[in-house]
């Protein structure tokens, strides 16, 4: 009886938490002028979905962007822009065209649509509200929409919704089963992933057929879902996709492989952008899997990383980085650093540091011994990536180098602006704050994907800009004495007042860790209401703080 009561109580608690989250999401929708009732939300997504006939019409319009007739080019632009966000993904592909006229006009259409559209966080909130309410046709609506989802964050929310609603009358939802044979690869993959995540054992034989799908992205998504369901044979499939995937997806495969290989001597061969290096990368992972398959526990992928409660602080003026325990006791200190602007704790008790005046990025033991270094003039950021490479930003370059120091990427801003802060985000994009007071997102080819201006006075250089999973960014407004969170379109959605902030990071618990120019303020942690809940100060400036 007690066990039954606990199950009921736990279910009630989860429902209460879900209802509270929905209230917050509905507030986001209302602020954006989006209807919050189920019918209105379903219509919201139906307007962002194209039929097969409409897809052909859109492709014809995109081809007309490069027509000989000026009138046809202009009309195509007007028609595409009028269709709104539903054509964003098609326009993004067109913006990569070798035809410069098509490329230029597609980029202009994208800018015009994005200026008027709601941000991705609004679309994601709409998905979550529908997932909670479960209206009758939600699975069919979201399956139709998923190929048109703008960005990984929205697509991930749709996949989560489908996985949560995978059953109908105790069996696999017929629309999801039917979608395993859909002409669109995104739908096939989304249906397969939802059936695996939903634990539909009776459908696994059909899902496994998609591990040989002609579309490499479908094979990727299905293999990832199967691996998380502890299907060992799918690891080899995932490895074999590495040279066949577009760069925008290959990082997903590589990231999962490095998570599996943590502590198991993963390959040092970088994936790279050219065919030869990607084939070498595949072969290196094949050899690694052959040697390690029997010792790898796939269940580890289900374990969320736990914070230890340790805080790393960068003491710029002293040339030191130290770590504090839960009671602010010092655990270790690395000295004799030459103007450290950024730091990251690495597995194996190592420290990665961007030493600005030392013209180098160093990897050190906690005794300060240099174990690896890369020489570069004026490094602002040093970020170790999951693949073992190191992302480095200077005021003019965005670099990625492998363990041997070979350059994988070397990107400069086409506008000639100086880079003040930067980060490589989990979705393989670069995000920068420039001296032109802009937040700029770029792909690995250096193409500007999106930007927005920030009303910023003093523009401090050095360290990472913190990008959240939902595309929002945290910006320290030093002269304005506040930290502001902006959504992906540049709208301020949260702020906390603090004198002369230098850097800010969002913690997994939702709190925000901020450092300032003032020794007497040091590092301060704020909760979601902007209330101070933790602080650390010493007799010198604390310019960066990170929690692990």
CATH of the domain at 453: 2.120.10.30
pLDDT at site 305: 59
492 SS3 class = strand
Q: What is the pLDDT of residues 340-391, one digit of tens each?
A: 999 999 988 899 999 999 999 999 999 999 999 999 999 999 999 877 889 9
pLDDT at site 393: 96
**Quick one: which H or E segment has residue 523?**
strand 523-526
- Residue 419 inside a domain? The answer is yes
Higher pLDDT, 286 or 155: 286
Question: Could you tell me how many residues make up the chain?
Answer: 548
Distance (Å, rounded) from C-alpha 373 to C-alpha 361? 5
pLDDT at site 215: 96
- Residue 395 inside a domain? The answer is yes
pLDDT exceeds 70 at position 179: yes
Domain match, 331 and 455 both = yes
The domain total for the chain is 3
Residue that has been written with the tokens 């094979």 in this structure: 219
Residues of the domain holding 449: 311-547
Domain match, 478 and 383 both = yes
Residue that has been written with the tokens 């109580």 in this structure: 9
pLDDT at site 270: 67
pLDDT at site 282: 94
pLDDT at site 5: 41
Residue 331 exposure: Cα atoms within 13 Å on the Cβ side: 15
pLDDT tier at 10, thresholds 50, 70, 90: very low
Q: What is the mean pLDDT of residues 489-500?
A: 88
Domain match, 138 and 271 both = no
If you average pLDDT over each of 176-190, 234-248, 455-469, which comes out highest?
Answer: 176-190
pLDDT at site 331: 93
369 SS3 class = coil
Domain match, 395 and 422 both = yes
Q: Are strands 419-424 and 532-536 parallel, antiparallel or unpaired?
A: unpaired
pLDDT at site 52: 87
pLDDT at site 264: 82
- Residue 31 inside a domain? The answer is yes
Separation in Å, CA 193 to CA 198, 206, 395, 530:
8, 12, 42, 39
- Max Cα separation, the chain? 77
pLDDT tier at 502, thresholds 50, 70, 90: very high
CA nearest to 6, candidates 65, 14, 274, 510: 14
The token pair at 430 is: 């670069």
Higher pLDDT, 9 or 400: 400
- Residue 135 inside a domain? The answer is yes
Indicate the range of 293-302, 340-349, 494-503 predicted with least confidence: 293-302
The token pair at 5 is: 């009561």
Domain match, 108 and 205 both = no
- Residue 170 inside a domain? The answer is no
pLDDT tier at 11, thresholds 50, 70, 90: very low
Which of 165, 197, 229 is the C-terminal boundary of a domain? Answer: 165
Domain match, 149 and 231 both = no
Domain match, 369 and 405 both = yes
Q: What is the mean pLDDT of residues 225-254?
A: 90
Residue 141 exposure: Cα atoms within 13 Å on the Cβ side: 21
Distance (Å, rounded) from C-alpha 328 to C-alpha 92? 48
Separation in Å, CA 116 to CA 113, 127, 166, 276:
6, 20, 34, 42
- Residue 175 inside a domain? The answer is no
222 SS3 class = helix
The token pair at 12 is: 């009630």
Indicate the range of 4-8, 356-360, 399-403, 449-453 predicted with least confidence: 4-8
pLDDT tier at 42, thresholds 50, 70, 90: very high
Give 496's contacts (C-beta < 8 A, 6+ positions apart): 482, 483, 512, 514, 526, 530
pLDDT tier at 1, thresholds 50, 70, 90: very low
pLDDT tier at 2, thresholds 50, 70, 90: very low
Domain match, 315 and 290 both = no
Which of 302, 336, 364 is the C-terminal boundary of a domain? Answer: 302
Residue 495 in contact with residue 481, Cβ under 8 Å?
A: no
Average pLDDT, the chain: 89
Domain match, 269 and 202 both = yes
Q: What is the mean pLDDT of residues 188-207?
A: 93
pLDDT tier at 8, thresholds 50, 70, 90: very low
Separation in Å, CA 206 to CA 39, 160, 176, 225, 227:
33, 20, 12, 14, 16
pLDDT at site 330: 93
pLDDT exceeds 80 at position 307: no
Instruction: Give backbone dihedrals phi and psi of 107, rounded to 5 degrees, phi first.
Output: -65, -40
Domain match, 358 and 504 both = yes
Which of 277, 302, 327 is the C-terminal boundary of a domain? Answer: 302
- Residue 174 inside a domain? The answer is no
pLDDT at site 427: 72
Q: What residues are paired with 364 via a beta bridge?
A: 351, 370
- Residue 428 inside a domain? The answer is yes
Q: What is the mean pLDDT of residues 23-31?
A: 88
Residue 398 exposure: Cα atoms within 13 Å on the Cβ side: 31
Question: In the 3-class helix/strand/coil scheme, how is 10-60 assigned residue by residue?
Answer: HHHHHHHHHHHHHHHHHHHHHHCCCCCCHHHHHHHHHCCCCCHHHHHHHHH
pLDDT exceeds 60 at position 338: yes
Residue 484 in contact with residue 505, Cβ under 8 Å?
A: no
Domain match, 323 and 292 both = no
Domain match, 354 and 448 both = yes
Residue 66 exposure: Cα atoms within 13 Å on the Cβ side: 15
Indicate the range of 333-337, 347-351, 484-488, 507-511 predicted with least confidence: 507-511
Separation in Å, CA 533 to CA 19, 51, 97, 377, 503:
26, 51, 51, 38, 17
pLDDT exceeds 50 at position 479: yes
pLDDT exceeds 80 at position 167: yes
Residue 431 exposure: Cα atoms within 13 Å on the Cβ side: 21
pLDDT exceeds 60 at position 3: no
pLDDT exceeds 90 at position 242: yes
pLDDT tier at 500, thresholds 50, 70, 90: very high
pLDDT tier at 273, thresholds 50, 70, 90: low
**Quick one: which H or E segment has residue 439?**
strand 438-442
């Amino acid at each position: 009886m007690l066990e039954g009561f606990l199950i009921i109580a736990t279910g009630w608690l989860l429902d209460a938490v879900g209802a509270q989250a929905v209230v917050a999401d509905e507030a986001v929708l209302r602020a954006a002028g989006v209807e919050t009732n189920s019918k209105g939300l379903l219509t919201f997504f139906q307007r962002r979905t194209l039929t097969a006939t409409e897809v052909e019409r859109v492709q014809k319009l995109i081809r007309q962007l490069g027509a000989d007739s000026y009138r046809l080019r202009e009309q195509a632009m007007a028609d595409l822009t009028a269709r709104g966000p539903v054509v964003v993904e098609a326009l993004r592909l067109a913006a990569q065209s070798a035809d410069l006229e098509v490329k230029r006009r597609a980029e202009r259409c994208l800018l015009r649509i994005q200026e008027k559209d709601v941000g991705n966080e609004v679309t994601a909130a709409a998905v979550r509200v529908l997932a909670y309410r479960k209206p009758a046709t939600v699975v069919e609506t979201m399956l139709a929409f998923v190929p048109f989802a703008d960005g990984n964050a929205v697509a991930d929310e749709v996949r989560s919704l489908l996985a949560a609603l995978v059953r109908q009358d105790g069996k696999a939802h017929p629309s999801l089963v039917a979608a395993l044979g859909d002409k669109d690869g995104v739908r096939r993959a989304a249906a397969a992933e939802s059936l695996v995540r939903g634990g539909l054992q009776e459908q696994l034989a059909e899902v496994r057929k998609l591990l040989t799908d002609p579309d490499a992205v479908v094979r990727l998504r299905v293999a990832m879902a199967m691996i998380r369901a502890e299907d060992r044979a799918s690891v080899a499939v995932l490895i074999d996709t590495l040279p066949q995937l577009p760069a925008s997806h290959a990082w997903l495969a590589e990231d999962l492989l490095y998570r599996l290989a943590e502590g198991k001597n993963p390959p040092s061969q970088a994936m790279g952008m050219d065919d030869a290096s990607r084939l070498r990368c595949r072969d290196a992972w094949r050899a690694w899997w052959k040697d390690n398959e029997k010792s790898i526990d796939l269940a580890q992928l289900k374990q969320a990383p736990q914070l230890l409660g340790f805080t790393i602080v960068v003491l710029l003026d002293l040339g030191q980085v130290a770590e504090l325990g839960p009671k602010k006791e010092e655990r270790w200190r690395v000295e004799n650093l030459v103007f450290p602007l950024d730091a990251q704790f690495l597995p194996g008790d190592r420290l990665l540091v961007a030493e600005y005046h030392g013209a180098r990025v160093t990897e050190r033991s906690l005794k300060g011994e240099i174990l690896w270094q890369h020489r570069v003039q004026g490094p602002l950021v040093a970020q170790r990536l999951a693949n073992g490479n190191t992302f480095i930003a200077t005021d003019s370059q965005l670099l990625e180098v492998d363990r041997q120091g070979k350059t994988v990427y070397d990107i400069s801003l086409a506008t000639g602006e100086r880079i003040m802060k930067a980060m490589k985000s989990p979705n393989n994009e670069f995000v920068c704050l420039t001296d032109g007071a802009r937040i700029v997102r770029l792909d690995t080819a250096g193409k500007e994907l999106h930007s927005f201006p920030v009303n910023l006075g003093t523009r401090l250089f050095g360290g990472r800009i913190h990008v959240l999973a939902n595309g929002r960014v945290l910006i320290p407004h030093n002269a304005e004495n506040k930290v502001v969170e902006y959504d992906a379109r540049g709208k301020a959605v949260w702020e906390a007042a603090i004198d002369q902030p230098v850097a800010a990071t969002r913690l997994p618990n939702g709190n925000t860790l901020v450092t300032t120019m003032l020794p007497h303020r040091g590092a301060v942690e704020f909760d979601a209401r902007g209330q101070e809940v933790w602080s650390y100060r010493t007799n010198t400036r604390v310019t960066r703080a990170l929690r692990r």
